[in-house]
Amino acid sequence: MKTADRILGLVRLELRCAFPERVLNQCAWQGILLRDTERLDACTLRACVREKELPALQRVAENCQAELQLLDQRGGSRILRFLLRRPGLVLAALLLAAGLFWSNLHIWQIDVRGNEALSRGQILRALEDCGVREGCYWPGLSVDQIRSEMLLKLPELGWMTVNVSGSRALVWVVERVEKPEIYAEQEAADIVASRTGIVEHTLVKNGRSLVKPGSAVLEGEKLVTGAVDSLSHPTRYLRASAEIWADTWYQETALEPESYEQKTELRRSKRRFALRFGKKRINCFSGSRKELDGYDKIVHEYKLGVEGLFSLPLSLTVEEYRLYERQSAQADRTAAQRRLRENLTAAVEGEILQSRLDSVSRDGWLYTELRAHCHENIARTAEVTPP
């Protein structure tokens, strides 16, 4: 109501009359709405009335022999006179409104949600091939067609949709869940060695064992076969299943420079500014082709718009260059050894019995070697095609 009053105009006035009740009755009879009525004394009354009802109120006051005095006036004709005296301001406001309307019909910001395995760049490249890019006319897009093309381009997607709000496109994706390995019990399969080692003990659940405890096996060698002989029937082919526990040995080597340069305190910093309109960039500094060697570059981009509502094609890019002091530092042997041990723990499917770490400096390089004796299950299922 306050906004409507400001547009239509509101007048604050003071009414003096011997009988103010007559004025109020006449206003009620003619449909004149008085607002914020305040009685100062027996003959004085203050109230607010809309500007279009002021002439009717003046006629009522004249008929009732009352005196009207205008105290304040807001909105209405006052705003109109203000705008007529400033045609440039009106033109700028109309151009701004037209620009906002045109901008809201185009996409200037694309947000991707729900992706884990797929990167944001992969999804944006596929969307660009489907016609969804910065600056595109979104009323001409078909969400169903985009979804069909995206599912063909990215088989990793299970579902996706595009929601457009103003000039902002929100892309929701659901990645496909890989189905677990399904096999039939009647399919033939053998057990082979996943690593080289010495067999300690076997636990064959299905099939015929080809190795005994104490046997040395190579990676990929067949340990348990699914072919089972029979005296009264031809050879049957089963899906072999077993646990083959063996002693295995690992040897890993890490190589890194013995000394390197390390950044310390900040020495100097510079900033460069640029404007972007759509995909066009306007640099606000000289020497744009000159590279600053030795500086670390940090780019900040600030888009013009309201977060979550709309985005405009105009943005400010701030490039910050930092130069640090550098000093020589020695390689951390403990960190290299820790990385090798973490990699070994992730690779072994059993327990680590013994391990040994050695670090040697040679010709400016640091060699870190890990040797380990492990006890693990080396059985791996391999599908076979029976003859």
Task: Dig out the tokens for 297 from the structure.
Answer: 């570059």
- Distance separating alpha carbons of residues 284 and 273, to the nearest angstrom: 5
Last residue within a domain, chosen from 329, 347, 363: 329
Contact 233, 282 (CB under 8 A): no
Instruction: Supply the pLDDT for residue 246.
Output: 94
Q: Decide if 264 is inside a domain.
A: yes
138: CATH: 3.10.20.310
Residue 118: name the closest of 147, 168, 160, 179 by CA: 160
Tell me the residue length of the chain: 387
- Distance separating alpha carbons of residues 210 and 224, to the nearest angstrom: 5
Judgement on whether residues 120 and 60 belong to the same structural domain of the protein? no
Instruction: Supply the pLDDT for residue 185.
Output: 64
Contact 262, 328 (CB under 8 A): yes
Judgement on whether residues 114 and 72 belong to the same structural domain of the protein? no
Judgement on whether residues 10 and 76 belong to the same structural domain of the protein? yes
* Beta-strand runs (E) in 213-349: 216-217, 222-225, 227-228, 236-237, 241-257, 259-277, 280-283, 296-306, 310-330
- Distance separating alpha carbons of residues 237 and 227, to the nearest angstrom: 4
Judgement on whether residues 115 and 61 belong to the same structural domain of the protein? no
Instruction: Supply the pLDDT for residue 289.
Output: 67
Judgement on whether residues 71 and 124 belong to the same structural domain of the protein? no
The amino acid present at 148, given as its one-letter code, is: S
Q: Decide if 211 is inside a domain.
A: no
Q: Decide if 70 is inside a domain.
A: yes
Total domains, the chain: 3
CB proximity list for 36: less than 8 A, separation 6 or greater: 46, 47, 48
Residue 332: name the closest of 340, 322, 343 by CA: 340
- Distance separating alpha carbons of residues 292 and 233, to the nearest angstrom: 81
- Distance separating alpha carbons of residues 215 and 200, to the nearest angstrom: 8
Contact 318, 302 (CB under 8 A): yes
Contact 306, 165 (CB under 8 A): no
Q: Decide if 336 is inside a domain.
A: no
Q: What is the DSSP letter of 172?
A: E
Q: At what angle do helices 143-153 and 120-129 cross, to 10 degrees?
A: 120
- Distance separating alpha carbons of residues 153 and 90, to the nearest angstrom: 49
What is the chain's pLDDT, residue by residue, as a tens digit (387 residues)? 566 766 777 888 888 888 888 888 888 888 888 888 888 888 888 888 888 888 888 888 888 888 888 887 777 777 777 777 778 877 888 888 887 788 788 888 888 998 888 888 899 999 998 888 888 888 888 888 999 999 999 888 888 889 888 788 889 999 988 777 666 666 888 899 999 999 999 998 888 889 999 999 999 999 998 888 777 777 788 888 899 999 999 999 888 888 878 888 888 888 888 888 877 888 887 776 677 777 888 888 888 777 666 677 788 889 888 888 888 888 888 888 899 899 888 888 889 999 998 888 888 888 899 999 999 999 998 888 777
- Kindly compute the dihedral angle of the four CA atoms of residues 27, 30, 36, 42, in this order, to the nearest 10 degrees: 10
Cβ-based burial of 15 (10 A; exposed 0-12, middle 13-18, buried ≥19): buried
Which residues on neighbouring strands pair with residue 281, listed in sequence order?
Answer: 276
Q: What is the DSSP letter of 51?
A: G
Other C-beta atoms within 10 Å of 159: how many? Answer: 13
Last residue within a domain, chosen from 284, 312, 329: 329
Q: Decide if 157 is inside a domain.
A: yes
Instruction: Supply the pLDDT for residue 50.
Output: 83
Contact 201, 247 (CB under 8 A): no
Q: Would you call 246 helix, strand, or coil by DSSP?
A: strand
Other C-beta atoms within 10 Å of 379: how many? Answer: 22
Q: Decide if 203 is inside a domain.
A: no
Distances (CA, A) of 8 to 11, 13, 93, 268, 277: 10, 16, 20, 59, 39
What residues make up the domain containing 316?
Answer: 260-329
Task: Dig out the tokens for 60 from the structure.
Answer: 């009522």
Q: Decide if 214 is inside a domain.
A: no
Judgement on whether residues 8 and 74 belong to the same structural domain of the protein? yes
The amino acid present at 281, given as its one-letter code, is: R
- Distance separating alpha carbons of residues 173 and 287, to the nearest angstrom: 42
Judgement on whether residues 120 and 162 belong to the same structural domain of the protein? yes
The amino acid present at 4, given as its one-letter code, is: A
Q: Decide if 102 is inside a domain.
A: no
Judgement on whether residues 71 and 130 belong to the same structural domain of the protein? no
Last residue within a domain, chosen from 329, 346, 361: 329
- Is pTM beyond 0.85? Reply is no
Instruction: Supply the pLDDT for residue 184.
Output: 64
Q: Where are the alpha helices (DSSP H) in 14-114?
A: 20-30, 54-63, 77-84, 87-104
40: CATH: 3.30.70.260
Q: Are strands 109-113 and 168-175 parallel, antiparallel or unpaired?
A: parallel
Q: Are strands 168-175 and 157-165 parallel, antiparallel or unpaired?
A: antiparallel
